[in-house]
């Protein structure tokens, strides 16, 4: 492959030659190959180095992306925990407010047999919610709080329902159908509940409904005119049909007559607002007190008035003086109780069972205490 070679060179009329031996050719070829190999190795090394750099850059980018995703995930977890904590905090305030409202005046109330009832579907939903909360960082503690709050709401619901049932029975004991005096309009601005998914939980909704029902029933019960309108110890004429004292014919007597001395104080049988002061045909001088829920008491044949229209009066507060005005045979008080302007027997109210009066008084105490809490609390 490398035969010995001679190269002739002519210059200035002289001829010279250069001999290249096999060894020199082999050494030159080896050097060329070495140089070519070195260049190739360098090229491969550079290519490999660049690939490594690219791979490292890709790895760094991947780690950076993973860190970003991790930070976003942590941020989402933290946001979820904060949302749950805020939700539980709002629930706690809601429970505490209703606890104060429900237990106001509790010492004056008779014991109640409150049986806690739980809806299986609601229990399953609450369990699922607790499981979701417990999966969050630090969620075990929040889930435990959520379960305690739910148990508290169920207990408050049971107590409110039991007391509402007692109040309803007391209203029926006065001879009145609760549905005729407890229905009413509702309204107010829409302020969304800021809880989970903007929805109030079933147990909180049930508790709110039970306490609202209790409020209406106890307020209605408090309006029942169970106080005596005067200190007279006996009745001269009862409610119902009788012989008219003037003409002797059969007539309907819409109230009770209380005898007494002229000028004797006439007292409001329940708290309310004076709706009328003046004269009515056959009644003479009259004071009418509106107790709300369609209930009104009328005090007739008065000799004088001690109240004015629009005045708020308490049970037992004087509203007039006994007399004999109008269609009357002598000094006495004609006392009526009217429901939606229809007369009902006042004897039911004045001779109510002591237990009924106890339930009524417990409701009055709670309503007064809850009203005081509303003025002085949050």
List beta partners, residue 185.
none
User: What's the pLDDT tens digit per position in 6-48?
Assistant: 777 777 778 777 777 777 778 877 888 888 888 888 887 787 7
User: Facing residues of 14 across strands?
Assistant: 11
Query: At residue 344, what are phi and psi to the nearest 5 degrees?
Result: -130, 160
55-85 pLDDT per residue, tens: 777 777 666 665 555 544 444 444 455 666 6
Instruction: Please provide the distance, in angstroms rounded to a whole number, between the alpha carbons at the two ends of the chain.
Output: 109
**pTM, to two decimals:** 0.62
CB 273 within 8 A of CB 308: no
Would you write out the chain's pLDDT as a tens digit for each of its 378 residues? 778 777 777 777 787 777 777 777 788 778 888 888 888 888 877 877 777 777 777 777 666 665 555 544 444 444 455 666 667 677 777 777 777 767 665 544 445 556 666 666 666 665 666 555 565 556 666 777 777 878 888 888 888 888 889 889 888 888 888 887 765 555 555 555 555 444 567 888 888 888 888 888 888 888 888 888 988 776 766 777 667 666 666 677 788 899 999 999 999 999 999 999 999 998 999 999 999 888 999 999 999 999 899 999 999 999 999 999 998 888 999 999 998 999 988 888 887 777 888 888 888 888 777 665 444 444
HEC per residue, the chain: CCCCEEEEEEECCEEEEEEECHHHHHHHHHHHHHHHHHHHHHHHHHHHHHHHHHHHHHHHHHHHHHHHHHHHHHHHHHHHHHHHHHHHHHHHHHHHHHHHHHHCCHHHCCCCCCCCCCCHHHHHHHHHHHHHHHCCCCHHHHHHHHHHHHHHHHHHHHHHHHHHHHHHHHHHHCCCCCHHHHCCCCCCCCCCCCCHHHCCCHHHHHHHHHHHHHHHHHHHHHCCCCCCCCCCCCCCECCEEEECCCCCCEEEECCEEEECCCCCEEECCCCEEEEEEEEECCCEEEEEEEEECCEEEEEEEEEEECCCCCCEECCCCEEEEEECCCCCCCCEEEEEEEECCEEECCHHHHCCCHHHHHHHHHHHHHHHHHHHHHHHCC
Q: Residue 126: exposed, middle, or buried by beta-carbon count in 10 A (0-12, 13-18, 19+)?
A: buried
Half-sphere exposure of 182 (CA within 13 A, CB side): 20
Please give the pLDDT value at position 186: 56
């Amino acid at each position: 492959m490398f035969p010995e070679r001679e190269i002739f060179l002519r210059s200035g009329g002289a001829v010279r030659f250069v001999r290249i031996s096999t060894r020199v050719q082999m050494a030159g070829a080896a050097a060329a190959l070495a140089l070519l190999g070195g260049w190739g190795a360098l090229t491969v090394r550079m290519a490999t180095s660049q690939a490594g750099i690219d791979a490292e850059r890709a790895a760094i980018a991947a780690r950076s992306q993973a860190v970003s995703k991790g930070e976003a995930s942590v941020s989402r977890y933290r946001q979820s925990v904060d949302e749950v904590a805020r939700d539980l905090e709002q629930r706690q305030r809601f429970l505490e407010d209703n606890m104060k409202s429900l237990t106001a005046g509790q010492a004056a109330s008779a014991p109640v047999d409150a049986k806690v009832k739980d809806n299986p579907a609601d229990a399953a939903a609450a369990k699922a919610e607790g499981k979701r909360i417990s999966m969050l960082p630090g969620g075990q503690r929040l889930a435990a709080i959520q379960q305690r709050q739910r148990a508290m709401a169920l207990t408050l619901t049971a107590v409110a329902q039991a007391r509402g049932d007692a109040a309803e029975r007391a209203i029926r004991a006065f001879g009145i159908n609760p549905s005729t005096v407890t229905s009413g309009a509702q309204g107010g601005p829409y302020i969304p509940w800021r809880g989970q998914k903007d929805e109030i939980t079933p147990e909180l909704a049930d508790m709110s409904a039970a306490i609202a029902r209790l409020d209406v029933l106890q307020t209605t019960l408090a309006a029942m005119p169970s106080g005596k309108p005067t200190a007279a110890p006996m009745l001269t004429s009862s409610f119902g049909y009788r012989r008219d004292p003037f003409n002797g014919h059969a007539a309907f007597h819409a109230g009770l007559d209380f005898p007494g001395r002229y000028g004797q104080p006439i007292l409001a049988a329940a708290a309310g607002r004076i709706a009328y002061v003046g004269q009515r045909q056959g009644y003479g001088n009259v004071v009418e007190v509106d107790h709300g829920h369609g209930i009104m008491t009328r005090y007739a044949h008065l000799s004088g008035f001690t109240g004015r229209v629009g005045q708020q009066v308490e049970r037992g507060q004087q509203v007039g003086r006994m007399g004999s005005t109008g269609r009357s045979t002598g000094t006495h008080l004609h006392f009526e109780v009217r429901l939606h302007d229809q007369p009902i027997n006042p004897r039911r109210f004045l001779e109510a069972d002591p237990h009924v009066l106890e339930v009524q008084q417990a409701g009055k105490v709670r309503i007064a205490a809850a009203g005081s809490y509303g003025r002085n609390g949050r």
